[in-house]
Amino acid sequence: VCLEFSEFAGFRGIIGAIDGCHIKIARPWVDEKIYVNRKNFHSINVQAICDANGRALSVYAKKPGSTNDAAMFVESIIGQRLARGDFSPFHLIGDSGYACTPYLLTPYAVPSNEPERRFNVAHKKSRCVIERFFGMVKRRFPALFFGIRMQPGRACRVIMACFILHNIALSRRQPDFDDDIAVNHFEEQDYDNQPDRQENLAQAALRLRRQGFEKRNRMTLNDFTR
């Protein structure tokens, strides 16, 4: 996977491109409001990670539309495994909607020199595979584009089936996907509202972002300075 991404855009260490995609669903009977996304329709926010060939490596299709991409990533099993260092020193690439960390690199918001601009160009070229990936799956399964007229639980199962079938189609070289999709089951989160706990979480998040910025700067210096 890393080699394919490196050959594609000269960006080293990538094990996947990540993004979220809203799949429209019928109005839920229960907890209707949490399924309304920022574009004001009911949806499941689907997190996916793909390789350079448009094959799904991980799909998390459980979160209601009001959940933002960054929060969904932190709560997902793949996000927790990356945070533990299971795939170190490798990393995902994602857009600026995510926090920049050592295991998920984002572009420079305002590049200040030519190496940073080159980093952003290579990052964008590598990241565009996830956009094409969602487009491929939606073309193959139009229900994902037009919407699934089902309640959330059943809609999530249909969504997962579509991504599994997409991988099977790729493996069989069907026009317009051979590893199993890693299904991350929704787990209830035990939120701790104690001030000390919240402060520790905030400090940990800041530390991760600093480490992410440092790694991004090292890569820019080593790989994108001519």
- Burial class from Cβ neighbours inside 10 Å (0-12, 13-18, 19+) for residue 138 reads middle
What was the pLDDT predicted at 74?
95
What was the pLDDT predicted at 201?
61
For the chain, the average pLDDT equals: 87
- Convert the pLDDT of each residue in 164-208 to its tens digit: 999 999 998 876 633 333 433 333 333 334 445 455 667 777 888
| 44 strand-pairing partners | 23, 64
Local structure of 189: helix, strand or coil? coil
What was the pLDDT predicted at 122?
93
Written as one string, the DSSP assignment of 24-55 is EBPPPSSSGGGGB-TTSSBEEEEEEEE-TTS-
Amino acid identity of residue 38, one-letter, is R
List Cα–Cα distances, 125 to 5, 132, 217, in angstroms.
10, 11, 18
Local structure of 15: helix, strand or coil? strand
- Convert the pLDDT of each residue in 66-92 to its tens digit: 999 999 999 999 999 999 999 999 999
Preceding peptide of 89 cis, ω within 30°: yes
Q: What would the two tokens of residue 47 be? A: 């997190």
What percent of the chain stands above pLDDT 70?
A: 88
Amino acid identity of residue 66, one-letter, is S
- Convert the pLDDT of each residue in 129-163 to its tens digit: 999 999 999 999 999 999 999 999 999 999 999 99
In the predicted structure, residue 226 carries a pLDDT above the cut 50 = yes
Q: pTM score, two decimals?
A: 0.84
